Structure 1
Amino acid sequence: MKKYIVLLRGINVSGKNKLPMAELRNLLNDLGFKNVQTYIQSGNIILESEKLKSEICKIIENGILDKFGYDVPVIIRTIPEWEKVIESYHFSTKNEKIVAFSFLNKVPEETIIEIKNIGEDKYKVDNDVVYLNCPSGFGKTKLTNNSIEKKLKVIATTRNLRTTLKLLELAK
């Protein structure tokens, strides 16, 4: 069995796509995944499976659509891939409140996110991750999931440093 970290895009945000974690865990167990754990309400999952990443994404997407009626994008990484993302962060992590990772569903063709007036906020597109460093704060940055998706033509979901580290800790 291989262990995976799975991220759902756009659930339990501003009252939209409500998905109770207990019900999600039950669904994932019913779908045949093993040792299913969730972390906080924003769609962070750790599970084990023999299946390929692409199969797991489709199974989860279809399961959520069938049970809850939501079309929710799913992004998945292995534990070694997750570790590499953390190790490869391109900026200082001294102020953890401004550090985040936008996980992408595929490697984008473009690596430039053309957004005007981003101030001191910085980003680096590297493979299927956008590394974010946002001194303006995540509530004010223009480097949002929506802008990243629009500019890079991908699906993106962002996690802060604390959540990213916690998911690795739980997965190990």
Structure 2
Amino acid sequence: MTTRYAALLRGINVGGAKKVPMAALRTLLEDLGHDAVGTYLQSGQAVFGSDRGDEESLAAAVRDAIEERFGFAVDVIVRDHAYLRAVAETCPFPAADLEARQLHVTYFSAPVTAERFAEIDQAAFRPEEFRLGDRALYLYAPDGLGRSKLAGALARPRLNKGVVATTRNWNTVVKLVELTGA
């Protein structure tokens, strides 16, 4: 049975570095044997169907193929439709009442605990706030990610040590659920 997945690539096509054309990414995924391949935007989202492997092995295969084909390393997280849908459905913030630029999800390659972020005094960042989910962090930033002081604090390397983390705005979160549900 074919499962639909999204591959989330971290840090590509930003500021002219690590260029991965979406057409080339689609070809790469097809060459790996995946079907119904598509991409969304230029910032590193691809969707595909596969009947073999699991999220971790699929992510490793995509990561290795990108490095071989393009000559640089890219962190990759692969998540299936059921997980992506659950992340959207369990959002602790009122997503329907917010602008997409105000709500973001950081996907992690492995589970993270509240203890990892214990040094962050959330009250000092109000009205911004974050909440943890299943291998995800939800960030409410009323003035957008670019102006968020809390986002900067959450991105500190020591807080993300040992995990890959990549952030998407709410529009992308919802679109990936839609694209993997087909």
Q: Extract unaligned runs of 5+ from structure 1.
A: none
Q: Partner letter of residue 151 of structure 1? A: L
Name the structure 2 match of 1:77: 79
Give the corresponding residue for 1:14. Answer: 15
Aligned counterpart, 1:95: 98
Q: Quick check: 157-166 or 88-97, which moved more?
A: 88-97
The within-5 A match list for 1:1-172 is 1-49=2-50, 50-93=52-95, 94-96=97-99, 97-109=101-113, 110-112=115-117, 114-115=119-120, 117-142=124-149, 143-144=151-152, 147=155, 150-153=158-161, 154-172=163-181
Shift in Å, 1:122: 0.6
SS in 2 for 1:159: strand
Q: 1:145·1:157 contact (CA, 8 Å) conserved in 2?
A: no
Structure 2 gaps, min length 5: none
Secondary structure (helix, strand or coil) at the match of 2:4 reads: strand
Deviation at 1:114, TM superposition (A): 3.4
Please report the RMSD computed on the Cα atoms of aligned residues, expressed in angstroms. 1.9
Q: Is the 8 A contact 1:100 1:160 kept in 2?
A: yes
Question: Which deviates more from structure 2 when the two are superposed, residues 35-44 or residues 119-128?
Answer: 119-128
Per the normalisation by structure 1, the TM-score is 0.91
1:102–1:145: 8 Å Cα contact kept in structure 2?
no
The number of equivalent residue pairs is: 172
The change in CA–CA distance for 1:149 and 1:125 in structure 2 (over 3 A counts) is: farther
Counting aligned pairs with the same residue, the percent is 34
